[in-house]
Amino acid sequence: MKMKLSGKILPLIALTTLAGCMSTGPHLKSSVSEGVAGIEARLPYANYSNYFGYVDKSVVPEGKYKGKDTYYLYVWVPAAVDEIGVSMISPAVATPGDKDFVHANFKPGMDKDANKFFDTYIVLDRMNIIDSNSIADGGKVLQNLGRNDDSSELPANPSGASYNSLLRKTTSMNNPTEALVRGVYRIGFTSFRSSVEGSFEATIGTNVPGVKIAASLSELDALVNNKL
């Protein structure tokens, strides 16, 4: 979403609008930015989807990334997008809303130890599933779209370190293999500084509504195809 500012708008109003973009809403912003009177600010995505989870010994890792135990989230994107942004913050500091996706272990984990957190590392992959009716059949990873360890754009963790993660991927009009098409994407997350244990909030930003997030393909199939 690109915000257009008329040249007839008073500078004070424009500055207030940009300041609001920087200080409110999700920390994850798009790659599009606009500046007024020397202030440059990234603009928000048109749509956001959030997932709240909690990892403890009852949650089994699904794979390995560079030798580290890795956990997965599966994302359904219902239409081609210009850009996809992904962030992960640990510990989760927000409260899940009615439209957010929440792992069954989140509330019990938070009740037990809400302060537990880990250093996040995220990897975004595109899978070979483009038909919603094929989600239940499973699939494989087609290509890696990006990875990130530490981002200064996100709040620091309780230790004061900027160890939360954020990445963005824009589509390519010239290379079909780099196009962000409708389908299933996978977020892998792990940690290289500690074990993965504690709460987290994952956020997906796009320009289309209807993005859904789940901890397994079977759960994603139920969400997307109204099997709940």
d(CA 133, CA 137): 8
* Lowest mean pLDDT across 17-21, 73-77, 213-217: 17-21
User: Which pLDDT score, from 0 to 100, does residue 213 have?
Assistant: 99
User: Does the pLDDT value for residue 92 go beyond 80?
Assistant: yes
Q: Can you tell me the distance from the alpha carbon of 120 to that of 95, in angstroms, rounded to the nearest whole number?
A: 19
- Residue 102's Cβ-side half-sphere holds a number of Cα atoms within 13 Å equal to 15
| pLDDT at res. 150 | 87
Higher pLDDT, residue 195 or 17: 195
Please give the tally of structural domains in the chain. 2
Q: Can you give the pTM of this predicted structure? A: 0.86
* 58 and 8 together in one domain: no
Q: How far apart are CA 166 and CA 88, in angstroms?
A: 7
Assess whether 83 and 68 both reside in one domain.
yes
Residues 215, 120 within the same domain: yes
Residues in a beta bridge with 36: 39
Q: Is the same domain home to 37 and 146?
A: no
- The whole-number pLDDT of residue 193 equals 86
Closest CA to 88 of 114, 58, 123, 63: 123
Domain hosting 202: range is 46-224
Grade residue 25 by pLDDT with cuts at 50, 70 and 90.
low
Asked if the model's pLDDT at residue 53 lies above 60, the reply is yes
Number of Cβ within 10 Å of residue 55's Cβ equals 25
Q: State the pLDDT at residue 34.
A: 84
Note the residue count of the chain.
Answer: 228
Shared domain for 185 and 93, answered yes or no, is yes
- 75 shares its domain with 180: yes
> Across the chain, what does the average pLDDT equal?
88
pLDDT > 70 in the chain, percent: 89
What's the mean pLDDT in 81-91? 97
Please compute the mean of the pLDDT values over residues 16-24 and round it to a whole number: 35
* 78-92, 104-118, 149-163: range with lowest mean pLDDT: 149-163
More reliable by pLDDT, 159 or 11? 159
Decide if 186 contacts 79 (C-beta within 8 A). Answer: no
